Amino acid sequence: EAQVTQNPRYLITVTGKKLTVTCSQNMNHEYMSWYRQDPGLGLRQIYYSMNVEVTDKGDVPEGYKVSRKEKRNFPLILESPSPNQTSLYFCASSLWAGGRNTEAFFGQGTRLTVV
């Protein structure tokens, strides 16, 4: 089954304690991205990657890091989480075809609370 898998689904942590949210896709997609979802703001892109070792900032990258060492994995790293990073996070992947992205597949989401 084609899917994007995120872990964990829920996470409560304290300010300043480094954490990693994992994301893996089994569709051999080139393009992967991370979004955060906040009430009234829709989804905002944090970082994206167009292929292995190619990453770039999205709209709200401050306080986040990513890496893309393998095509299937795209972890999101919060080196020093702060309460304003409390949010619902989604990983997504899509096929890059004909110079544009096609349908995006989303993970189930990770609800992060930073206290």
Partner 1 sequence: GNSVTQMEGPVTLSEEAFLTINCTYTATGYPSLFWYVQYPGEGLQLLLKATKADDKGSNKGFEATYRKETTSFHLEKGSVQVSDSAVYFCALIKAAGNKLTFGGGTRVLVKP
Residues that bind partner 1 (CB under 8 A): 4, 31, 33, 35, 40-45, 48, 50, 58, 90, 92, 96, 99-101, 103-109
Q: Does the CA dihedral 24-16-44-87 come out positive or negative?
A: positive
Cβ 4 to partner 1 shortest distance, Å: 8
Closest to partner 1 by CB, 10 or 115: 10
Cβ 1 to partner 1 shortest distance, Å: 14
Strand pairing report for 31-38 and 87-97: antiparallel
Cβ 68 to partner 1 shortest distance, Å: 14
> In terms of C-beta density within 10 A (0-12 exposed, 13-18 middle, 19 or more buried), how is residue 44 classed?
middle
| CB atoms inside a 10 Å sphere around CB 85 | 21
Closest to partner 1 by CB, 8 or 16: 8
d(Cα 92, Cα 85) in Å, to the nearest integer? Answer: 19
Closest to partner 1 by CB, 1 or 103: 103
Lookup result for tokens 């872990």: 7
Closest to partner 1 by CB, 33 or 85: 33
Cβ 61 to partner 1 shortest distance, Å: 13
